[in-house]
Amino acid sequence: MQRPYKDIIQRLQAVGLRPTRQRLALAKLLFEKGNRHISAEQLHAEAQSEKMPVSLATVYNSLHQFTAAGLLREVVVDAGRSYFDTNVEPHHHFYFEESGHLEDIDRDQLRLEAVPDAPEGMAVSRIDVIIRVNRSQ
């Protein structure tokens, strides 16, 4: 943690993004705390409280740039709110309906059997499995 931003700087440069102060701050929050599922709003709030002020617009820009670069994956579970997942390996999710919380399901804890062919002329870009759970009935 005392280590400087060397790793992060290289990581950003590797995908062609200039390591600006804002991107470094956000990348630090995102990637140095294990796997996270975070919304733009949450990340923005976290940056403020960690004394690394970044504007909300820049948070959105960075999240999308990181996603395009393959450093993040966007997970959509809820109309009108995106989560960004720092785990970009193929895997699935539990979604806690009441709290909005997400939890990873390892790819080999849940396998798909007999996946149908993609429609004519189409290529599969990703398969998302979301298991929605709630507190009993």
Partner DNA sequence: GTGATTGCAAATCTTTTGCACTAAA
Partner DNA sequence: TTTAGTGCAAAAGATTTGCAATCAC
* Strand duo 37-38 + 73-78: pairing: unpaired
131 touches a second copy (CB under 8 A): yes
Which parts of 92-111 interact with a second copy (CB under 8 A)?
94, 96-97, 103, 105, 109-111
Interface pick for a second copy out of 74, 90, 100, 107 (rule CB under 8 A) = 74
Say if residues 75 and 57 touch (Cβ distance below 8 Å): no
Distance between CA 96 and CA 103 in Å, rounded?
A: 8
Q: Which of 75, 105 has the CB closer to DNA?
A: 75
- Which of 4, 42, 48, 2 shows the shortest CA–CA distance to 22? 48
Calpha distance 69→78 (Å, rounded)? 24
When binding is defined by CB under 8 A, the residue of 3, 34, 51, 114 that contacts a second copy is 114
Binding test (CB under 7 A) with DNA, winner from 62, 85, 86, 93: 62
Q: Point out which residues bind DNA (CB under 7 A).
A: 13, 17-23, 39-41, 53-58, 60-62, 64, 79-82
